[in-house]
Each structure stands twice: as structure tokens, then as C-alpha cells.
Amino acid sequence: MRKTIVATTLAVIAASALMLNGCGKKAEAEAVTTAAVETTAAAEETTAEETTTAAEETTAAAEETTAAAEETTAAAEESSESEEESTEESSKEEETTEETTKEETTTAEETTVEETTAEETKAQSSGADPSAIYSQVTGLLPGMINVDANYIANYYGIDASQLEGYVFAMAEDVTHADTVAILKAKDASSVAALAGQLSAVQQQKAQELQDYMPDQYQIVAASSVKTAGNYVYLVMSPNAAAIEQTIASNIG
């Protein structure tokens, strides 16, 4: 707009100078021309200054925009770093929680195993020794003899190596059916087999006495094999009830 006004002004001044020259007024024409030159120079200076100022303002605005963009970028980077740190902390917390849970689970399992082992050991070691139990019932029996491991292995197939302790006693007088067998197995898995072997003892004794000594046969026929925990026992005696009660009270 300013340039248009200046151009118009210059055109008017130029026309005036021509008119003055035409009228013979050379001095006035030169004055008008000088004024036109000065006006043009002033206008150019003003335009240059305004252009420079506008450029500087534009540059300043651009610099401010750049600074704002840099601040935004920095803020975004800080936010990203904070998120990464937060994610790392969350991951560490999750790992710590998992490790703690695993440790607690392992400890609980170890404790359970230890408790189970202790209970098994206690169960195996609990209860009186068969010989100690037998010593409490000898007063209810006639003269008895204790047979050894070879005897029970050869006659009844009982392997003494599977036993933690045992007593196998029979009446010295063959006319008496009295027999007391108390076996304590090392392993509970042997109990069923041992019970079967004592049942065979009872059946063999019954066959021996059935036709020759009916009264003693009745004692044998009334007997039965019993088990409790790792114990297996057989009592053939007129006092079987009292003897079995003593055995049960010691192994319960």
C-alpha cells in the first residue's frame, strides 16, 4: 500500500516538473525533482526499515516457535523416560513378587515333606518292642520256647530281615496249642504278606490237632490273625482275650 502511494506521489511530482519546465521555470522544476528524489529515498528507507523490522519479528517468532517445540520435545522425552522407569519398576516389582511366591511355595513344600517324614519316622518308631510286650503276658502262658529266625523262615517262610522286631513262642508241651507270634514289620507294605504267613501257621496248627486233640483244636479254631499299624500278631491260647488286650494296649 505504501509503495503504491509513493509511486502515485512520484508520478504527480514528475508531471509537475514537466509542466514547470514547459513554462520556463527551470529552477522550480529542479526543486520539484529534488523533492521527488528525497521523497523516494525517504520512502525506500522507511520501506527497508519496515521490511527489516518485519523480518526480525518473523525470525523472533520462528525462534520462539522453535524454542516451544524444543520444550515440548523435551517434555515428551521426560514423560517417555518416566514411563520407561515406571514400567521397569513395575517389572521389577512383578519379578520380586514372583520370586517371593516361589520361595514361599518351595518353603511350604519343604516344610510339608519334613513334617511327613517326621510323622512316618514317628509312626515307625512308635509302639513297644515285641519282646517287651511278650514279657508282660508270660504269666498267662504255660512253659514256652522262643524259636529263632531260621526256624520261622524254614517252617513258615517268614523272613526276619523284613522285621524290626519279633517274638515267635510255642508251648514246650506239644499237647498244648499255645502259640504267640508278634511281628513288627519294618515297612507297612509287608504287613499283608506277614498276615498271610501267620494265617498259614494257624491253619497248619489246626490240621495237626483236629483229629487228635479236639479241645486244643477248638483253641486254635477260635484264634485269628490281627494287624495294627506295622504289627501283625497271632495268639492261640485259652487266655487269648487277655493276651490280645495287653498287646493292643502296647501297640495302639
DSSP-assigned beta bridge partners for residue 235: 180
Residues 8-33: tens digit of each pLDDT = 444 444 454 455 455 555 555 454 34
What is the percentage of the chain residues whose pLDDT exceeds 90? 49
Residue among 158, 230, 225, 159 nearest 188 (CA): 230
> pTM above the 0.85 mark?
no
C-alpha to C-alpha distances, 228 to 14, 21, 144, nearest whole angstrom: 140, 150, 25
Please write the tens of the pLDDT for every residue from 159-212.
Answer: 999 999 999 999 999 999 999 999 999 999 999 999 999 999 999 999 999 999
Give the C-alpha separation, 22 to 12, whole Å: 15
